[in-house]
Amino acid sequence: MTWFSIAAWKERRRALRDLGRLQYLDHQVLILDEGNFVNRAKMAMEAGDQTAALQFWQEALMRYPAFAKASHDALPLLIGLERFDEAEALMLEGLRLRPRDQFCAEGYALVAEKRGDIEVAIERWARVRKKFPGSAWAFIHGTNCLRQAGRLKAADKLNAASIRRFPDDQRVWMDRARIAEERGEWEEAFRRWDAVADRFNRHVVAEQGAARVLEKLGRITEAEARLKVAQQRSPLVPGLAVARAELAELRGDKTEAAACWAEMVRRFPLLPKGYREGFRVLRDLGRDAEAEALMAAAVERFPAEAWPAIEHAALASARHDWGEAAERWTKVRERWPGRSEGYQRGAEALAALGREAEAETVRTELRTRRLRSPQEQAS
């Protein structure tokens, strides 16, 4: 090699080093900028706006592709957008450049799992465990994939290895209990959930699991007592309130179930389930005035949803208060013109009031529209 070629090689090397340093600095600036398009895509995804998330991601790829592809937020974004081929290619490229990159190895397995290629995912997670034996994800996701494949004996065996390797990870202990449940081994499942609760400070998931298995064993009273104590310890977990109400119904105590649903509405006023189930139970008990008040509260709480307005109108029809029913069904038609109930039940109310001409107008409008029936709405 001549002196000139050596000098040129050194100059190129220095230039590449400087370019890498500049790229690193650019990446650090982007990381600190919360308004970068990768971060905006992430926030849109978390808000459930996939359209905006995709737009922001594509903008990031156009503006700073190296930064976007190197970001650890890229993988969950692409998986959330169900762009599995793109996510897989990204992980493979990372492994090509950095064969010992644990994140890319785990991501490569995770893409197969999320895409539903469970047998492929099982093989990939096994390779991750072999190459990165300290990867808790490889053990936990590998176990879950085996469970999804119905290979519960293999899942139990891998889970036992997970517990030996990660004895303080509550996830592996919970998987241990879930496997027993899935095998229908109810006594063993209860012992395992009870052990999780003892080991991890009465964890709410463990208490729910124990109660669920007690129900399977027919020990309903014990399950309810356990959930009641758990709810006192964790009053802000809606699943506990739901489970208590469902158990009360299971043993035929609808009065207690109504009280549980009412408590759920009081504690979690933004969750529709308490209103819907509470309304159903109150109707079954014949407590129509309370059901009316509950559904009126739901109409006010969820003005953008059709179900409370429809149930509210149906109540007036059921008690033959045709004037009130006609008014409520009119509001349903105005707010949700695509719902057939507003026309059918509204015409019924108008006809009962003797306003047949108005009823026929509503029926005609129903015939000229392509409306979805309640059954189609539910499908």
Write the DSSP string, 86-127: HHHHHHHHHHHH-TT-HHHHHHHHHHHHHHT-HHHHHHHHHH
Query: Could you read off the pLDDT of 26-65 as tens digits, one per residue?
Result: 444 444 445 678 888 888 888 888 899 899 888 888 888 8
**190-209 average pLDDT score:** 95
Number of residues in the chain: 379
**203-224 average pLDDT score:** 95
Instruction: Write the DSSP string, 162-223.
Output: HHHH-TT-HHHHHHHHHHHHHTT-HHHHHHHHHHHHHHTTT-HHHHHHHHHHHHHTT-HHHH
Query: Could you read off the pLDDT of 270-304 as tens digits, one per residue?
Result: 999 999 999 999 999 999 999 999 999 999 999 99
| 245 inside domain | no
214's tokens: 């007690």
Number of helices followed by number of strands (H, E) in the chain: 23, 0
CATH classification of the domain holding 325: 1.25.40.10
CA distance 284 to 234: 30
Estimate to the nearest angstrom the gap between the alpha carbon of 113 and the chain centroid: 17
Least confident of 13-27, 72-86, 360-374: 13-27
CA distance 368 to 16: 70
**303-321 average pLDDT score:** 95
> What range does the domain containing 357 cover?
303-369
**321-347 average pLDDT score:** 95
Give the angle subtended at the CA of 346 by the CAs of 341 and 351, to the nearest 5°. 135
**236-245 average pLDDT score:** 92
| 151 inside domain | no
- Residue 15 reports pLDDT greater than 50: no
Least confident of 8-17, 87-96, 155-164, 215-224: 8-17
- Residue 24 reports pLDDT greater than 70: no
129's tokens: 């465990």
Q: pLDDT category, 6, cuts 50, 70, 90?
A: low
- Residue 198 reports pLDDT greater than 50: yes
The DSSP bridge partners found for residue 339 are 372
Query: Could you read off the pLDDT of 62-112 as tens digits, one per residue?
Result: 888 888 888 888 899 999 999 999 999 999 999 999 999 999 999 999 999
The SS3 of residue 372 is strand
| 329 inside domain | yes
CA distance 112 to 4: 51
The SS3 of residue 339 is strand
| 362 inside domain | yes
| 213 inside domain | no
Report the chain's mean pLDDT, rounded to a whole number. Answer: 89
> Where is 330: in which H helix or E strand?
helix 322-335
- Residue 315 reports pLDDT greater than 90: yes
Q: pLDDT category, 379, cuts 50, 70, 90?
A: very low
- Residue 22 reports pLDDT greater than 60: no
- pLDDT of res. 30: 44
Q: Are 296 and 306 in contact (CB under 8 A)?
A: no
Q: pLDDT category, 371, cuts 50, 70, 90?
A: low
| Residues near 298 by beta carbon (within 8 Å), at least 6 away in sequence | 272, 275, 276, 279, 307, 308, 311, 312
- pLDDT of res. 21: 46
**Single-letter amino acid, residue 25:** L
Q: pLDDT category, 8, cuts 50, 70, 90?
A: low
Torsion 333-337-341-343 (CA) sign:
positive
Buried b (16+ CB within 10 A) or exposed e, 38-52: bbbbbebbeeeeeee
| 332 inside domain | yes
| 315 inside domain | yes
- Residue 165 reports pLDDT greater than 90: yes
Q: Are 91 and 53 in contact (CB under 8 A)?
A: no
Q: How many domains does the chain have?
A: 1
| 324 inside domain | yes
- Radius of gyration of the CA atoms of the chain, in A: 29
Q: Which of 146, 184, 140, 186 is nearest to 166 (CA)?
A: 140
